[in-house]
Amino acid sequence: MNKLIEAITAFLVRPFRPDPTIVLHEVNSARSSMGLPELATLPAGSKGNAKDCPLAVALGGFVGVDGICFESPSMADRVARVRWTGVRHMSASRHVVTS
């Protein structure tokens, strides 16, 4: 029984890794809405560097806990329409597409 509990615990606490194919499709849909060309692959990122996040690089925004932040309200609105989410206007130059 202990081994089963350990296995279940290990499964539940492992890092979540989304399917890269689905992520690339979503990124390309968002890029298309912004008039940007599609990507063949997601950009490489580096662990611990939010500015180097593959989504931030691919979408030209900044990815945080609450979503993707854009300086341009029109870019944020376009991405939000693709993702069927909303935009939270934080300030004149910060517009977060909520996840």
Q: What secondary structure does DSSP assign to 60-74, as a single string? A: TSEE-SSEEEES-HH
What does the pLDDT profile of the chain (99 residues) look like in tens digits?
A: 556 666 666 666 666 677 888 888 888 888 888 888 999 998 888 777 777 788 888 888 777 777 778 888 888 888 888 776 778 878 777 777 776
* Whole-model pTM over 0.75: no
87 CA to centre of own chain: 14
pLDDT at residue 61 in the model: 78
pLDDT for 96: 78
